[in-house]
Amino acid sequence: MERCAQVLNRALHALFTERADVVLIGEDLLDPYGGAFKVSAGLSTKFPDRVLTTPISEAAIVGIAGGLALRGLRPIVEIMFGDFTTLAADQIINHVAKFRGIYNGQVSCPVVIRTPMGARRGYGPTHSQSLEKIFLGIPGLTVVAPSRHHELGALLRGAVLESHDPVLFIENKAMYAQPHEPPIADRVAEFSTRTSADCFPTLTFSLNNFAAPDLTLATYGGMTPLALQAALELATEHELFAEIIVPSQLSPLPTTELQASLSTSRRLLVAEEGTLTAGWGAEVVARLMDITDFPFASARVAAADSIIPTSRPLEEAMLPQPADIIAAALKLTASPRR
C-alpha cells in the first residue's frame, strides 16, 4: 500500500506528463532535495524547464504564480510549511482570489497552492500550526484539505485542471507517512462508506451500515484517523454509533451530507486540529443552525488556544486526541435528543 506522499508525488508526475502547461514553483524543489517532504521528488530531473526553484519569498512565489496563471499556465505553488502562508496572505487574499471578480469574469487564475499543515511531529510553534481557518470564507478561494481516505490523486488533479479559480490545497503533514486507504467497494476497514459526487468529495463513514446514528461527527484532514478511532471505541465500549462526515472541501462549505445525517441524529460534534476559537467547527455549527429547520445539540473539540510546544508530551496534551472526542460524545449523548 502506497504512502500518501507517494500518491501525491505520482499524481504530480502524471499531471506534468499529461499537460505541458503545468508548472511548479517554490523553494528547495530541485533534486535530490525534491521539496521539504519529498512530494516533488523527481520532477526537476524529468521536467527541468517547468520546475522553478526560488529564493525565500512566499509573497513573490504566489505573485509570480498568479501572473503565470493569468497568462494561461496551470501553476502549482509549493509552500514549504503551511505556517508560511501568512507571508503570502496579501497575494492570496487581495490578488489571486480577486482577479476574476476584478476583471468581471474575463480572466481566470487557476493557481493551486499546496502546503502541509498540522502538528504531531514535534516541529514547534512556527512549523506545526493548522492555519487554514484564516483563509476560510475568502470569496474566490477554494480551500481543500483531504484525508488519507480520499482519492488524493484525483483531488489534486481536480484542483489543478478543473478549477478556474485559486485553490489552497492543505496536506496534513502527519498524513504523508500514513498509508493511502481510499474506500474499496464502499468500505474502509470496519466502516461502510459513501462518497459524494463533487469534484472535492465528502466521505461518510458508518459502523452500523447507515442505520440512524446517535450523533453526527464532522471532521477533516489529519483528524480523520483519530475520529474513526474514537467512533470505533464509542461503538464497542458504549454502544453509541456516530456517523462520521469528512469533507475534503472546507470552503465554500458543503452541507448536504451534514444536513442529512444531522436530521436523524440531532446531535453534532465537530473535531479539528486547529485552535478552538473562530475555527472551522464554529462555522460548521453556525451554518447548520442557519439552514436547518430543526433543533440540534452541538459541541466542538479542537486544540487549546495556545502556541504549539516543541516538547512532544506537551504538544500531545495541547492537541485534540481520540479520548477528547469520546468524552465530548458521551457528554453530548447524555442529554435527550432535541
As a whole number, the mean pLDDT across the chain is 97
Of 141, 175, 209, the residue at which a domain comes to its end is: 175
Share of the chain above pLDDT 90, in %: 99
Specify whether 194 is located in the same domain as 110: no
Q: What is the rounded distance in angstroms from the CA atom of residue 252 to the CA atom of residue 283?
A: 11
Q: Are residues 170 and 31 part of one domain?
A: yes
299 and 261 belong to one structural domain: yes
In a shared domain, residues 204 and 170: no
Average pLDDT over residues 127-142: 97
CATH assignment at residue 221: 3.40.50.920
Residue 136 sits in the same domain as residue 205: no
Range of the domain at 97: 4-175
Say what the pLDDT of residue 337 is.
Answer: 75
35: CATH: 3.40.50.970
d(CA 229, CA 217): 12
- In this structure, is residue 181 part of a structural domain? no
- Is the pLDDT assigned to residue 206 strictly greater than 80? yes
The answer as to whether 180 is a domain residue is no
Domain check: are 11 and 31 in the same one?
yes
* pLDDT per position as a tens digit, 45-83: 999 999 999 999 999 999 999 999 999 999 999 999 999
Reply yes or no on whether the pLDDT at 336 is more than 80: no
Residues 162 and 193 in one domain: no
Looking at 175, 201, 236, the residue that finishes a domain is 175
CA–CA–CA angle 219, 224, 228 (5° rounding): 105
Q: Please confirm, yes or no, whether 238 is among the known catalytic residues.
A: no
pLDDT bracket for residue 323 (50, 70, 90):
very high
Domain count, the chain: 2
Task: Choose one of 175, 204, 231: the last residue of a domain.
Answer: 175
pLDDT in tens, 228-251: 999 999 999 999 999 999 999 999
The residue from 127, 149, 150, 180 that is catalytic is 127
Of 335 and 216, the structure prediction assigns the larger pLDDT to 216
* CA terminus-to-terminus distance, the chain: 44
Instruction: Specify if 135 maps to a domain.
Output: yes
Residues 308 and 254 in one domain: yes
**200 and 257 inside one domain:** yes
Structural domain contains residue 9? yes
300 and 223 belong to one structural domain: yes
What is the torsion angle, in degrees rounded to the nearest 10, for the CA atoms of residue 216, residue 121, residue 145 and residue 29?
-170
